[in-house]
Structure 1
Amino acid sequence: MKTTLRGTAATGRGLVAVRAEAQPKKIASIDDLAIAFEAFKTTHTEQLNEIKAGTEDYVTTDKLNKIDAALSELQTAIDDQAKINAAAKLGDGAVIGDIKADPAYTAAFKQFMRKGENNVSADVQAAMQKGTDADGGFLAPIEWDRTIGEKLKKVSPMRAESRVITISTAGFKKFFSDRNVGSGWVGETASRPATTTPQIGTVTFEPGELYANPAISQGLLDDAAVDLEEWLSSEVDTEFARQEGIAFLSGDGSNKPYGVLTYVEGGANAARHPYGAIKTLNSGAAAAFTGDGFLDLMYDLPAEFAANAKLYINRLAMGAARKLKDGQQNYLWQPSYASGQPQTLGGAPVVEMPDMPLVAAGNIAALYGDMEATYLVVDRIGIRVLRDPFTNKPFVHFYTTKRVGGGVHNPEPMRALKIAANA
């Protein structure tokens, strides 16, 4: 059981509530998932037979919807359990990557959070790589910052699936050749005329600033045995992951990342990359998925990108895709058969992406490809905390910021599925 403090200073009252979360929400097993899928297939067959006979029964449809919802919950619970098992490795004082915890700096940072900068040792204020005190802001301890990053990867599917780099300047430029180099066949003594020369294009990635501003009363800071790091890290990873998930998919690039969906054919940034837009294929029906549409999507991807390709789709859309069959009446969707292994559709691993569009006419309801080869997340430095005890007395705000950008660095390893009939 984990207890988290959440501040709601935006109401003007600075209310701090205590929220208890038990994770995962449901204990599930692979056997439970297999049993539920068999029930789903049996009930779906009953529904199809009733439709063919013109005797469709609401009771059967309702039963199918309930089983489908249970399937989604079981699959999510199994995925969550795998994430929790991985997260358990991130303990206090652990070695994260190649960087060891710094107990002295961590203790100073905790003191800063509880009492303010006047009570912090010179160590936390002096070194630029550890903190900057010009405006009372401090960089979080590096192991705490790294742990937040790991939590963000587990909460935000886009960050977990994309390529992530950290930069030390205000922006990042990537150079691309248009690959327009000419060549030709000639005889031994024939002249060699000039051939076309490739041109260089650039794509710029500029970080925007993401922030959270939770609050806690000074009295609670003074009197309660509150684990401030746990509280603040929970605030940060939940809110930052939510905002990042939206921006990495559909951000307009204005003080935020460029979303991958804006690079599809017809999108706002379709012409931004030198290699062109992400290719779009139709689902094969005006307002629904089709099995052939998914197979066309998957086989259109070049073979060199297929090994690491995954299907990105939201949970409600997955409910529709779960009913699809191939020509031999086999379901395209298959559940996890081992802990830590993903569900699949047409043999492709499925990643549930909460902020993907719904299945509706004209929407891009699924992406398929190698996201790590497609999308680049650019982090600038790390998490920064500004302790503000003045703005909303008697509450202390912890103004927490992270500069992050993102955009497509290669559109070729990705395909998009648009809900539309084939021409």
Structure 2
Amino acid sequence: MTVMDRPMLEGAAPSGAFAGFVRSGATIEMKAFTGVSGDAGGYAVPREVDAQIDAVLKGISPIRGIANVVKVGSAGYRKLVTTGGTPSGWAAENAARPETATPVFVEIVPPTGELYANPAASQAMLDDAAFDVEAWLAGEIAMEFAKAEGAAFVGGSGSGRPKGFLTQPTAATADGVRAFGTLQYLASGTAGDFSASPQERLIDLVQALRAPYRQGASFVMNAATLARIRKFKTSDGAFVWAPSLAAGQPATLLGYPVIEAEDMPDIAANALGIAFGNFRAGYLIAERAETVILRDPYSNKPFVNFYATKRVGGCVTNSEAIKLMRFSVS
């Protein structure tokens, strides 16, 4: 005796394991929620939802789009950086070859924290078959994660979260003189403002970055600072700002793209309001590949909470690859 396939009755749950889980708590693939409590329970976000979150993050959190992002499998990520290369020397054809110095290694350990979001929706809304639950969930989590990431990558303390590049030690000394991990700043020439020749100070900022790093470098500033710079003109009346001539291409300043990051400080006395550098070489973001989500329909009835977490770390890896402008006299 065979069993005929029956059509779905009106009002039945929609197909798709994840959709069924989000709407009703139906069982889907189960994985450990944390690395130390395997029996606590948890659920892995399907690949298609996690991909949506990553795509939105790159648009909202600008530092993620220009930094070096690596996927890690644990919290113990380490990176070795050489600070002086491998020394060498010259010798005549029949001269002795004395031993040269060995490279100096520095271990980089990006501070890591748990990034989380806890959006809620009423059960009545989730029961509505016309509601796109997955798109809503991806959008809510992406917005929460992007705002937290954007602030941490710029000004994070490094305690339970990434260490932002603006929280690194700074000095006015050039490359090769500063201690490793200290970023170089250039003074604008006026406390809390640009000098009388602001475009010249911007050129100095660009040229302070050595040529190997200028390939792929970009400016980073907030919208208020950018509005000031867009009004600058050269002596012949030409704007130093060059608008984009093609869709999808960023506008340029002195030939380099400009990234708007609203977490950058406004122009003020001693503020580090402009960054210029190759962030792919200078800033590292280390993150777990998966976003983990736990459905909680009990603690906040009649709402259903979706507790999502993602482990993210970040820090400066090459202090020569990023330069800052400080709005000060010196």
Tell me the TM-score range normalised by the shorter chain: 0.7 to 0.9
- The count of corresponding residues between Structure 1 and Structure 2 is 305
| 1:150 Cα offset (Å) | 1.0
2:220–2:276 CA contact under 8 A, matched in 1: yes
1:202–1:274 CA contact under 8 A, matched in 2: no
Q: State the partner residue of 1:332.
A: 240
Q: Deviations over 1:343-379 (max 9, x none)?
A: 2222221111111010111001101121112111111
1:125–1:133 CA contact under 8 A, matched in 2: no
* Alignment map for 1:9-408 (pairs within 5 Å): 107-116=16-25, 119-121=26-28, 124-125=29-30, 134-179=39-84, 181-187=86-92, 190-223=95-128, 225-265=130-170, 275-289=180-194, 290-408=198-316
- SS of the residue corresponding to residue 160 of structure 1 reads helix
Q: Which amino acid aligns with 2:137?
A: L
Compute the TM-score of the two structures, normalised by the length of structure 1. Answer: 0.67
1:171–1:207 CA contact under 8 A, matched in 2: no
Query: Using the alignment, how far apart are the partners of 1:334 and 1:210 within structure 2?
Result: 37
Bigger proportion of residues as helix? 1
Q: Closer, same or farther in 2 for the Cα pair 1:182/1:376, shift >3 Å? A: closer
2:31–2:42 CA contact under 8 A, matched in 1: no
Q: Which sections of structure 1, spanning at least 5 residues, go unmatched? A: 1-105, 268-272
- SS of the residue corresponding to residue 125 of structure 1 reads coil
1:367–1:417 CA contact under 8 A, matched in 2: yes
Q: Deviations over 1:204-231 (max 9, x none)?
A: 1243111111111223323453211111
Q: Which amino acid aligns with 2:284?
A: L
Q: Closer, same or farther in 2 for the Cα pair 1:276/1:213, shift >3 Å? A: closer
| 1:405 Cα offset (Å) | 0.8
Query: Using the alignment, how far apart are the partners of 1:236 and 1:345 within structure 2?
Result: 33
Q: Which amino acid aligns with 2:202?
A: F
| 1:166 Cα offset (Å) | 0.6
1:176–1:274 CA contact under 8 A, matched in 2: no
Q: Closer, same or farther in 2 for the Cα pair 1:284/1:250, shift >3 Å? A: same
2:279–2:321 CA contact under 8 A, matched in 1: yes
| 1:127 Cα offset (Å) | 9.8
**Cα RMSD between the aligned structures?**
2.5
Query: Using the alignment, how far apart are the partners of 2:148 and 2:31 within structure 1?
Result: 32
Q: Deviations over 1:264-297 (max 9, x none)?
A: 5159xxxxx9733221111122221212111110
Query: Using the alignment, how far apart are the partners of 1:109 and 1:266 within structure 2?
Result: 52
Q: Which amino acid aligns with 2:265?
A: P
**Larger RCO (alpha carbons 8 Å, 6+ apart):** 2
Q: State the partner residue of 2:323.
A: 415
Q: Which amino acid aligns with 2:27?
A: V
Query: Using the alignment, how far apart are the partners of 2:48 and 2:165 within structure 1?
Result: 30
Q: Percent identity?
A: 40
- SS of the residue corresponding to residue 390 of structure 1 reads coil
- SS of the residue corresponding to residue 298 of structure 2 reads strand
Q: Which amino acid aligns with 2:116?
A: Y
Q: Closer, same or farther in 2 for the Cα pair 1:393/1:381, shift >3 Å? A: same
1:166–1:379 CA contact under 8 A, matched in 2: yes
Q: Closer, same or farther in 2 for the Cα pair 1:340/1:381, shift >3 Å? A: closer
| 1:180 Cα offset (Å) | 6.0
| More deviation, 212-221/398-407 | 212-221
Q: Closer, same or farther in 2 for the Cα pair 1:165/1:182, shift >3 Å? A: closer
Query: Using the alignment, how far apart are the partners of 1:141 and 1:261 within structure 2?
Result: 35
Compute the TM-score of the two structures, normalised by the length of structure 2. Answer: 0.85
